[in-house]
Amino acid sequence: MNSRYDLLYHELLMRDQEHILRFYHELSDGSRKMLLDQIESMDWARLQRLTKEALGKEASVPGELSPMEAYPWDTYSPEEKRYFEELGWSKLRMGKVAAIVAAGGQGSRLGHPGPKGTFSIGLPSGKSLFQLQAERLLNLAARAGCPIPWCIMTSPDNHEETVRFFENHRYFGYSPKDLFFFIQGELPALDEQGKVLLAEKDRLNLSPSGNGEAFLALERSGILQELKKRGVEWLFYYNIDNAIIKIADPRFVGVAAHYSHPIATKAAYKVSPEEKVGILCKREGRPAVLEYTEVPFFLTQQRDADGKYLYGLGNLSIHLFQMDFVERHLSHPLSYHAAHKKLQTVDEAGHVMMPESPNGYKLEQFIFDYFPLADEMTVLVMDRMEEFAPVKNKTGEDSPETARRQVLDVHKRWRQAAGVDTGNWSDDKLEISPLDSYAGEGLEPPAE
């Protein structure tokens, strides 16, 4: 027996994970080496700690909850709106804002074979999510007269393909010196008992460890330091799968800079108390996002004097973090959540199988777990139709179909507001390039 095997077997035995070597003796030399390399690269003591923490959590006790103060954009006067917008533009002109996109997820519900950013929601132009986002940023940067650093978080699984996609498309016109790719980490997926799952006889089932890793991974890659050197003050964080995201929105930047809390977030009122999105509120007096299931039913029904649900602020995953705050809290350990998922594994005979229903857990950190570390947060309430078109599922709600419909509806509203006559063209064929308009501006027909 080789001693490397013995050592690792012993380590796994101590952690009650030795089952992952059960097919070892059937494997070729190459596969044996691959599996042992993978096992050796893991921090098994850490994994044991995280597993205990994530799977051992008591059924959620929300603690003392109170509503979060929020500022609806609509309630500002035209002068205030102009002031915020100008303040935001001044930050962009001075290069104080960088964008970070979490694009390391597996997108398993969508089922697209490549990285989600390479997916096209079927707009007439056929543009991918990455291209739509690149063009929005290019539009802003051109008007600001200053480049906007764009940081793309990938996973070990999709990194190469993501970078190749950008190379093959000449970075969509983005200057490579303002484009930063960085890789997040992975953790093994677990079965219902906390045992590590094999994806194949010779390979662990690894998955990216959540979007909450973004800042640490940014720091590990040296990019955070580079942004700091460039004088960046605000990090605009968003998820890759929002087809209508207004990246680095000057209005939002202006509002965040004005109130100057360590974090700002864009929110939208939930359509109904039952809608399945995380809720922004205060927990034990600190900003927090709660699962919709964590808020007691009677609280979900309470309304304010204007009829708005007190606990109806939906989290859209659109945030601005102050650089200082991020640096101060980098070493704060965010907790791990166990997400119940369908995970590829092998059966006792060693056959690869994909279950019909969730069979285990992925361990993930969430970016919003930074919120309670801020004493106060700025919450800007926007019109969700203009801000949030998530692409999560293959069909049905939050699918390419709903996102495409929403983007085209927004473009139609912009055209109508600008008085554009589109003749007999069908709305389904009329798309506005983000290079031409960021948020509906500049579409007015020239005066006769």
Query: Which stretches of the chain bind ligand UTP, using CB under 6 A?
Result: 102-109, 116, 153, 184, 208-211, 239-241, 364, 392
State in angstroms the smallest separation of the CB of 95 from ligand UTP. 25
Q: What is the DSSP string of 417-438?
A: HHT---TT--GGG----TTT-S
| Structural contact between residues 149 and 185, judged by C-beta atoms closer than 8 angstroms | no
Which of 139/209 has CB closer to ligand UTP? 209
391 has which bridge partners?
none
State in angstroms the smallest separation of the CB of 246 from ligand UTP. 16
Which of 85/157 has CB closer to ligand UTP? 157
Measured CA to CA, the distance from residue 18 to residue 12 in angstroms comes to: 5
321 has which bridge partners?
235, 263
Going by C-alpha positions, the residue among 162, 174, 180 that lies closest to residue 226 is 180
Which of 364/387 has CB closer to ligand UTP? 364
State in angstroms the smallest separation of the CB of 237 from ligand UTP. 10
Residue 231's region, left for phi above 0, alpha for psi from -120 to 50, else beta, is left
Which of 194/210 has CB closer to ligand UTP? 210
CA 104 to chain CA centroid, nearest Å: 8
State in angstroms the smallest separation of the CB of 105 from ligand UTP. 2
Measured CA to CA, the distance from residue 368 to residue 317 in angstroms comes to: 8
Which of 102/257 has CB closer to ligand UTP? 102
State in angstroms the smallest separation of the CB of 286 from ligand UTP. 23
Please name the residue that has the structure tokens 């601005």: 320
Which of 155/322 has CB closer to ligand UTP? 155
Going by C-alpha positions, the residue among 213, 308, 215, 219 that lies closest to residue 262 is 215
| Structural contact between residues 117 and 240, judged by C-beta atoms closer than 8 angstroms | yes
Give the DSSP letter of residue 212. G
Angle at the Cα of 50 from the Cα atoms of 44 and 56, rounded to 5 degrees: 130
Q: Which residue is nearest to ligand UTP (CB)?
A: 105
381: exposed, middle or buried (C-beta count within 10 Å: 0-12, 13-18, 19+)? buried
State in angstroms the smallest separation of the CB of 185 from ligand UTP. 9
Measured CA to CA, the distance from residue 137 to residue 134 in angstroms comes to: 5
C-alpha to C-alpha distances, 174 to 3, 142, 271, nearest whole angstrom: 51, 11, 37
Which of 95/104 has CB closer to ligand UTP? 104
Measured CA to CA, the distance from residue 308 to residue 89 in angstroms comes to: 31
The encoded tokens of residue 31 equal: 């596969």
Task: Identify how many contiguous H helices and E strands the chain contains and give both numbers.
Answer: 13, 20
Please name the residue that has the structure tokens 């940014």: 218
Which of 139/315 has CB closer to ligand UTP? 315
State in angstroms the smallest separation of the CB of 289 from ligand UTP. 13
| Structural contact between residues 314 and 384, judged by C-beta atoms closer than 8 angstroms | yes
Which of 245/263 has CB closer to ligand UTP? 245
Which of 48/393 has CB closer to ligand UTP? 393
State in angstroms the smallest separation of the CB of 78 from ligand UTP. 35
C-alpha to C-alpha distances, 51 to 184, 222, 298, 361, nearest whole angstrom: 19, 29, 33, 10
